[in-house]
Amino acid sequence: MLIRKKKMAMGAAGVLLAVAAFSYAGDEQVRIFRGEIADNQCAQNIHSLTHSHQEMLKSKSMGGDSGSCAQYCVRYLGGSFVLSSKKEVYRLDDQGSAEKFAGKRVKISGTLDGKTKTIHVTGIEAEE
């Protein structure tokens, strides 16, 4: 009888733990993030000194505007699209949607994974 009670208690504890983990994962609040869709290489100073496309645009080797520079870096240099917001740079889990707004100021709705600084995108729209 004692063994059966221990098994039941262990099973109940397992169920409670699973429910707690599931409910915690769903508590992330959808937030609004604003900034420019850039490439990680310019935004993180991999080939830029100003966290921007300034140096690349001066050389005219990667296009004539921020959007073409970001697309060039992603397409040919292995970069990825990010949201550059003031001094913060966020990874984006939806690269396809971000590409449409390369070089543009946007408003992104989504949840933030604070450990990886990745926004799990639920929507992107141009900011006016």
Instruction: Report how far Cα 30 is from the mean position of its chain's Cα atoms.
Output: 13
**113 inside domain:** yes
- Beta-bridged to residue 51, according to DSSP, are none
Which percentage of the chain shows pLDDT scores above 70? Answer: 65
Residue 84 lies in a domain: yes
Structural domain contains residue 14: no
Count: domains in the chain = 1
* Residue numbers of the domain that contains 97: 29-126
Please name the residues in contact with 81: beta carbons below 8 A apart, sequence gap of 6 or more: 37, 38, 39, 40, 70, 74, 92, 95, 98, 99, 102
Q: Is 1 inside any structural domain?
A: no
* Residue 38 falls inside a structural domain: yes
- Residue 23 inside a domain? The answer is no
Q: Where is pLDDT greater, at 83 or 128? A: 83
| pLDDT tens for each residue of 9-66 | 555 444 444 444 443 445 579 999 999 999 998 888 765 555 555 555 555 556 678 8
